[in-house]
Amino acid sequence: MEQKGKELKVSAIENGTVLDHIPADQLFKVINILDLQHSPHPITFGTNLDSKMLGKKAIIKISGKFFKDEELNRVALVAPSANVNIIRNYEVVEKRKIAIPEIIEGIAKCSNPKCVTNHQKIKTIFTVITHNGATKLHCHYCEKETPIENVEVNSML
Ligand code: CTP
Ligand code: ZN
């Protein structure tokens, strides 16, 4: 860790992906969604870092790993404010916002206790609907709509 001005920074990486502006309380959900606990790559993260935008933010750096868009977009489910920096040779070569996918398969749980996906080994499928600024997941199996802020997540596997 290096101290730069008033900001506490996690060390720079040579190559890989930096996820920044993650709300601090969503860090472990993001780790879970990207299945980082099973990753062989060097990973550093910081949390409860000061952010003007979020109050407290978290940041995750994965060395040597470049994700597919659909993998990163799953993160938007729990951290829509997150952004992605692609690092090559210590330089930020690309900055990307992530977008909530239209269909979410496998990672979110249905909030209906009676839903078949909570009783059998069936992959969940939701369509994402946004109405009057509120985003909800509509279950393909039981039609229940769950507000995105209440969604519980499983890892990708
Ligand atoms: N970063 C890194 N390793 C590098 C270069 C950058 O880990 N070799 C990280 C920085 O620590 C930062 C993020 O990638 O968290 C984006 O870098 P940069 O665009 O330089 O920072 P900011 O201008 O603060 O980005 P933003 O405006 O998106 O907050
Ligand atoms: Zn359901």
19 in contact with ligand 1, CB cutoff 6 A: no
The CA distance from 109 to 21, in Å, is 25
97 in contact with ligand 1, CB cutoff 6 A: no
Beta bridge partners of 143: none
Domains of the chain, by residue range, sit at: 2-97, 103-153
48: left (phi over 0), alpha (psi -120 to 50) or beta: left
Q: What is the pLDDT of residue 153?
A: 85
Q: What is the pLDDT of residue 157?
A: 47
Q: Which ligand is nearest to the CA of 18?
A: 1
The CA distance from 124 to 118, in Å, is 9
Does pLDDT of 11 surpass 70?
yes
Tokens 């959900």 correspond to 29
SS3 for 99-127 is CCCCEEECCECCCCCCCHHHCCCCCCEEE
93-108 pLDDT tens trace: 999 999 999 999 988 9
Strands 145-147 and 134-139: antiparallel
61 in contact with ligand 1, CB cutoff 6 A: yes
Architecture of domain 103-153: Roll (2.30)
92 in contact with ligand 1, CB cutoff 6 A: yes
Does pLDDT of 8 surpass 60?
no
Q: Tell me, in angstroms, the distance from the centre of ligand 2 to residue 146's CA.
A: 9
CATH class of 2-97: alpha beta
Handedness of CA 101, 102, 105, 110 (dihedral sign): positive
Does pLDDT of 2 surpass 50?
no
90 in contact with ligand 1, CB cutoff 6 A: yes
* Consecutive H or E run containing 71: helix 69-75
